[in-house]
């Protein structure tokens, strides 16, 4: 009786799978037509606002048992595949291959995108500015290490916009060509990764030499060529360089999150759940920064981050970077920015883009 019930349920699954393939192909045909319209109007293939709206609409009708995050993950994979129908997007990222920025780029744009590793954040910006890449992916802040100042500095002179953000939990893996942990005598990695895994290393590999490298990806390359050695790197690096994972998730503190920015020639249209990033400078006077923040309070705009950076042009002259909830086209945001601009030496909108996640 049980076998009969199982067979019946499997037949129902097979029927649903056939329907699913049919629906996905019907959707693909419509996407092809949409891409033709976009091409004629010179519209970008990547439309994070539209993707966010689609996901939010589906979440409103989701009754389970799939979770909201399950629905989001499924749709993100569909978006990645369908984006490649016209031509694969070219993505510049802070490399080399196997870094966490590479992982973020793959997470957003998928395996079908063309990935260009760059040695510096400045090079990522240049690849996009020169038109050799459609978008760039750069790190901007980490929950443990703080802001990536060089990324902020690049926006001072660049006209590129923030098109989207990517927020990833960072998990460190111990990778090696060896198959046993007890054989490891050296551990290579970036200084930050070594620091974030210090307690684990003290407990499990107290006698192993720890060697700092330029990046986690370079560490994996070195460990790949050397016996009795290992590297702390990403799961992507393990797959890319064919390394054994001796231990997963070896970071000392869970909740290690890094935020990345997708940079392009344009920012995003409103999705209904957006953030905006701006930069501005003020005259050096008592209460200047306080006065700059008043318009945000006046128009009920929540700030999510504020950073200051020296202009490097004049001593004690600073530029402020602010992220807040809302789109630059929202009525209250427009009013706040107009009031803010009256008291600024200069004001620059870096971009409005959908907030990451559900």
Q: Is 280 a catalytic residue?
A: no
Among 90, 101, 216, 258, the active-site one is: 258
The verdict on whether 258 is a catalytic residue reads yes
Distance CA 76, CA 28 (A): 15
Residue with tokens 């020169």: 130
Residue of 46, 100, 260, 321 marked catalytic: 260
Q: Is the Cα dihedral 201, 248, 117, 308 positive or negative?
A: negative
Q: How far from chain centre, in Å, is Cα 5?
A: 45
Q: How many CB atoms lie within 10 A of CB 143?
A: 14
State the Cα–Cα distance between residues 264 and 299, nearest whole angstrom. 29
Task: Please state at what angle helix 2-40 crosses helix 68-83, rounded to 10 degrees.
Answer: 50
In whole angstroms, give the CA distance from residue 333 to residue 263.
22
Would you state the torsion angle of the CA atoms of residues 190, 194, 196, 197, taken in this order, to the nearest 10 degrees?
140
How far is the C-alpha of 123 from the C-alpha of 93, rounded, in Å? Answer: 9
Catalytic residues: 258, 260
């Amino acid at each position: 009786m049980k076998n009969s019930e199982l067979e019946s349920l499997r037949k129902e699954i097979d029927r649903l799978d056939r329907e699913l393939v049919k629906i996905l192909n019907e959707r693909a045909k419509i996407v092809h037509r949409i891409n033709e319209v976009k091409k004629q109007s010179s519209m970008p293939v990547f439309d994070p606002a539209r993707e966010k709206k689609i996901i939010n609409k589906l979440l409103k009708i989701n009754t389970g048992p799939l979770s909201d995050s399950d629905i989001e993950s499924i749709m993100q994979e569909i978006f990645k595949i369908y984006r490649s129908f016209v031509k694969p997007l070219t993505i510049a990222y802070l490399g080399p291959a196997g870094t966490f920025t590479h992982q973020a780029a793959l997470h957003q744009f998928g395996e079908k995108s063309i990935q260009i590793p760059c040695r510096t954040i400045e090079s990522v910006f240049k690849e996009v500015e020169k038109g050799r890449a459609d978008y760039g992916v750069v790190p901007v802040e980490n929950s443990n290490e703080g802001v990536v100042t060089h990324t902020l500095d690049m926006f001072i002179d660049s006209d590129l916009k923030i098109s989207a953000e990517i927020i990833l939990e960072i998990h460190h893996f111990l990778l090696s060509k060896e198959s046993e942990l007890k054989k490891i005598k050296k551990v290579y990695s970036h200084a930050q990764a070594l620091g974030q895994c210090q307690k684990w290393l003290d407990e499990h590999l107290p006698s192993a030499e720890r060697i700092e490298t330029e990046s986690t990806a370079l560490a994996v390359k070195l460990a790949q060529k050397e016996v009795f050695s290992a590297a702390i790197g990403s799961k992507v690096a393990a797959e890319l360089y064919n390394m054994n994972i001796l231990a997963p998730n070896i970071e000392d503190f869970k909740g290690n999150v890094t935020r990345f920015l997708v940079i392009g020639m344009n920012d995003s249209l409103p999705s209904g759940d957006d953030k905006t990033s701006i930069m501005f400078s003020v005259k050096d006077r008592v209460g200047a920064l306080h006065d700059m923040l008043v318009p945000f309070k006046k128009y009920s705009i929540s700030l999510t981050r504020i950073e200051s950076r020296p202009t490097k042009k004049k001593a004690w002259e600073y530029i402020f970077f602010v992220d807040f909830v809302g789109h630059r086209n929202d009525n209250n945001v427009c009013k706040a920015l107009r009031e803010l601009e009256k008291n600024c030496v200069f004001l620059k909108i870096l971009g409005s883009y959908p907030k990451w996640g559900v």
